[in-house]
Amino acid sequence: MMRIGMLTSGGDCQALNAAMRGVVKCISHSGEQVEFYGFLNGYKGLIYSNFRMLTSEDFSGILTRGGTILGSSRTPFKTIREPDENGLDKVEAMKQNYYKLQLDVLVVLGGNGSQKTANLLSEEGLHIVSLPKTIDNDLWGTDMNFGFQSAVDVATNAIDNIHTTADSHGRVFIVEVMGHRVGWLTLNAGMASGADIILIPEIPYDIDKVVEAIEAREKRGSRFTIMAVAEGAISKKDAKLSKKEYEEKLAKSPYSSVSYAIADKILKKTGREVRVTVPGHMQRGGAPDPYDRVFASRLGAEAGKLILKREYGFMVAYKNREIVKVPLSEVAGKLKYVSPDATIIKEAKMLGISFGD
């Protein structure tokens, strides 16, 4: 009898359920005798032995369902070695709960921090197979993460809906897009929705260049400007600060986010009305789109195949249009950034999109 544990960790996204369903269906159809255990609310479930046995009914009808049937939470990797408030050794607790259930493997669905913890557990001797989940699309070792395309759809729709009101009122509109410290989501949603200016963390902006782009549109007769701004966008001036200095500056800032700071600067420099829209967690929510349903199902099936072959210590990844396995040790602790010299950036500039640089 094979015993498989599963957990979803970190911020939720679309297609988590589809990915888990893929793992279960692959193994169930292999003829292998198996029991599935779901740890609730991410690594917290594994730490505090909060789990339930999963049956086929749990995976029926969840292909199109957003969120995660197991619940999720953030358990920061930087504190994973620190005892909890009661002095519990979290890493040791996870190991002991794994062994108590006599698990053959733990399947981890998560983003960057979750993959680091997965790698730590693998180094501690547990059998781990992981799947790449994040709307940020920033996991190293894979060209695509499930949840990303669905989030692009939501962010694109938000920007699309801004166009008519921006045109009606002749305003500058900023739509703040998620993505943590990388610009993949903002870049793709901005291009898909015809944004005029796209600001991403990897290309620090000059506010005067942003203003120039707005005024150039006005001279061409455009009544409005649409800006897609990443939540991690940073000015050229701030990019010269150390990480500590920048964090201290943000802590003292009167603005709730970078978009409001940019809006205020544009208003003061141009006198133009600026409105900020923040779709926020809407980008994580709702049903997965068809691409993510297929993609997550494929990744789940390939994870199931690794488990059946007893190949552990890998993240299932997507490279050069093929699904492959990547050692967790190569993934952990690395982020996949947008290169300022990437072809897609050059093509966006050919289309007349300004990056404020």
Q: Are 330 and 141 in contact (CB under 8 A)?
A: yes
Shortest CA distance to 89 belongs to which of 120, 58, 131, 127? 120
Strands 51-54 and 34-39: antiparallel
**Geometric angle at alpha carbon 89, from 328 and 77, rounded to 5°:** 40
Active-site residue (options: 12, 58, 136, 153): 136
Which stretches of 111-192 are assigned E, i.e. beta strand? 128-132, 172-177
Is 58 catalytic? The answer is no
CB 315: neighbour CB atoms within 10 A? 30
Shortest CA distance to 163 belongs to which of 20, 3, 277? 277
The structure tokens 């094979």 sit at 2
Q: Is 130 exposed, middle or buried (0-12, 13-18, 19+ CB in 10 A)?
A: buried
d(CA 105, CA 126): 7
Give the active site residues. Answer: 136
